[in-house]
Amino acid sequence: MKLEQNEKPLLFSETLIPDVFFSEYLTQIPGDYIKIYLYMVFLSKYNKDIKINDLSKKLSLPLKTINDGTKFLEDNGLILKKTNGYIIVDIQENLLHKLYSPNVQMSSEKIEENSKNQSISKAIEYINNQYFQGIMGPSWYNDIDLWFRTYNFDEQVMIALFDYCFNRSALHKNYIQTVAEAWALNNIHNWNDLDLYYQKQEKLTKIKKEIAKKLGKRSGLTQYEEAYIEKWVSDFGYDLNVIEIALKRTTFKTNPTFEYINNIITDWHDRKLKTPAEINAFLEQRKKQNKNIKQLEKQVSKTNFDQRQYDNLDFLYANNIEENNIPNQ
């Protein structure tokens, strides 16, 4: 493949990387792909031809990584594929075009609305200073404004969103977008909504740990087991007091599964049993019914046995009469 850019003498040449690369792309690109990109930028200044196999050997990277890396760089607008190679994209010009195009389409009413919304501007500026050291990339401003409008977050929730992702070392647009969507699905729009959501999550986490402890799962729960618990707590509205009743019933089973526990709890929910008192009353009633059924079965069994004994006596008596009445041969 052939890489194209302006040629300069190697001794006095510098490989310049725009600051936009660091603010917009660096955190989004896997480490090996950064190596590929930087080396391609370096080679492009001299219009050098290099084969994929040679690039793999030069960078000590597997051939698959080179192919995946160039595809990633192309998909993210850092390089452009041509018939005989690649062109290094001018990311400054490309970003300027992206930022300018939406603004041209904005109505005057929208511009006026944005200019008046000082609280949102202050929130964005806080995010810039707090999480980007004051050098947040230009495209972030459009993205944050879009998230404000799409998810109807207030300023505190937006700041909390960035704080959540920053503390998990995941200040990437895709991750932030995923968390934002999850919050929106849980009807989070203001700080009170978020506080209630955190309380529910904290309660759910405690219940998961307690259940794992009671079941002796020291390695933790699987994703599917946690999904069962989330259904019991979030969908059914049960707390640990109710769930624990179902857990105790697993002592009668050998190697009980979460599906078995789920069947028990789902049955209670279908019967509209909500409290431990209601569930215990139901179980006591069922226990009494089972006891009555067993007693009835025992009585029926005894009656049948007595009847068979009587029938057998009649049979023997009849046989004796017949034998006594047999004529002499």
The residue-averaged pLDDT of 102-111 equals 47
The answer on 171 and 145 residing in a single domain is: yes
Phi, psi dihedral angles at 49 (to 5 degrees): -90, 135
Tens of pLDDT along 288-316? 888 777 777 676 666 665 555 555 555 54
Instruction: Report d(CA 91, CA 301) in Å as an integer.
Output: 88
Lowest-pLDDT choice from 1-15, 127-141, 168-182: 1-15
Check residue 131 and give its pLDDT.
92
Based on the domain organization, do 117 and 182 belong to the same domain? Answer: yes
Residue 208 pLDDT > 90 = yes
Q: How many CB atoms lie within 10 A of CB 127?
A: 21
Q: How many domains does the chain have?
A: 4
Answer yes or no: is 284 within a domain: no
Residues 296 and 312 in one domain: yes
> DSSP per residue over 187-234, as a string?
T--SHHHHHHHHHHHHHHHHHHHHHHHHTT-TT---HHHHHHHHIIII
Per-residue pLDDT for 106 more than 50?
no
Name the residue among 186, 176, 109, 171 with its Cα closest to residue 148.
Answer: 176
Lowest-confidence region among 42-51, 73-82, 253-262, 279-288: 42-51
Question: Can you give the residue range of the structural domain that contains 247?
Answer: 194-274
Same domain for 204 and 227?
A: yes
Tell me the average pLDDT across 187-205: 92
Whether residues 29 and 80 share a domain: the answer is: yes
Percentage of residues of the chain with pLDDT beyond 70: 78
Asked whether residue 252 carries a pLDDT value surpassing 80, the answer given is: no
Quick one: 88 and 117 in the same domain? no
> Of the residues 36, 63, 93, which one is the last residue of a structural domain?
93
pLDDT for 96: 65
Which pLDDT band, with edges at 50, 70 and 90, does 219 fall under? confident
Q: What is the structure's pLDDT at 211?
A: 92
Confirm whether 100 is domain-assigned.
no
Contact 42, 15 (CB under 8 A): yes
Assign 247 to helix, strand or coil: helix
Regarding whether 66 and 11 lie in a shared domain, the answer is: yes
Backbone phi, then psi, for 270, in 5-degree steps?
A: -65, -30
- The reply to whether 102 falls in a domain is no
Whether residue 269 has pLDDT greater than 90: yes
Which residue has 């139901």 as its token pair? 282
Give the strands of the sheet with 85-88, arranged side by side.
2-4, 85-88, 79-82
- Please give the residue that has the higher pLDDT: either 199 or 43: 199
Residues 123 and 65 in one domain: no
CATH code of the domain covering residue 258: 1.10.10
Residue 180 lies in a domain: yes
Helical residues (DSSP H) of 76-190, grouped into ranges: 91-105, 108-116, 118-131, 138-151, 155-167, 173-185
Q: What is the pLDDT of residue 217?
A: 87
Tell me, yes or no, whether 182 and 224 share the same domain. no
Rounded average pLDDT over 127-141: 88
Last residue of a domain, one of 189, 207, 228: 189
- And the tokens for 92? 């400054």
Residue 47's pLDDT is what?
73
Supply the pLDDT for residue 38. 87
Q: Please report, for residues 95, 119, 249, the alpha-carbon distance to residue 124 in angstroms, rounded to integers and kept in the order given.
A: 19, 9, 53
- Give the per-residue pLDDT at 185: 93
Task: Establish if 281 belongs to a structural domain.
Answer: no
Does residue 161 lie in a domain region? yes
Boundary (domain end) residue, out of 159, 189, 219:
189
Q: Please determine, for residue 83, whether its predicted confidence score (pLDDT) is greater than 80.
A: no
Residue 58 within a domain: yes
Please compute the mean of the pLDDT values over residues 77-101 and round it to a whole number: 72
Q: What average pLDDT does the structure give for the chain?
A: 80
Read off the pLDDT of residues 158-168 as tens digits, 9 standing for 90 and up.
Answer: 999 999 999 99
For the residues 73-82, what does the mean pLDDT come to?
Answer: 83
Interval 220-239: pLDDT, tens = 899 999 999 999 998 999 99
Q: Is 74 helix (H, G, I), strand (E, B) or coil?
A: helix
pLDDT, average across residues 310-323: 50
Pair (29, 86) in one structural domain: yes
Domain-embedded: residue 51: yes
One domain for residues 7 and 81: yes
Does the pLDDT value for residue 135 go beyond 50? yes
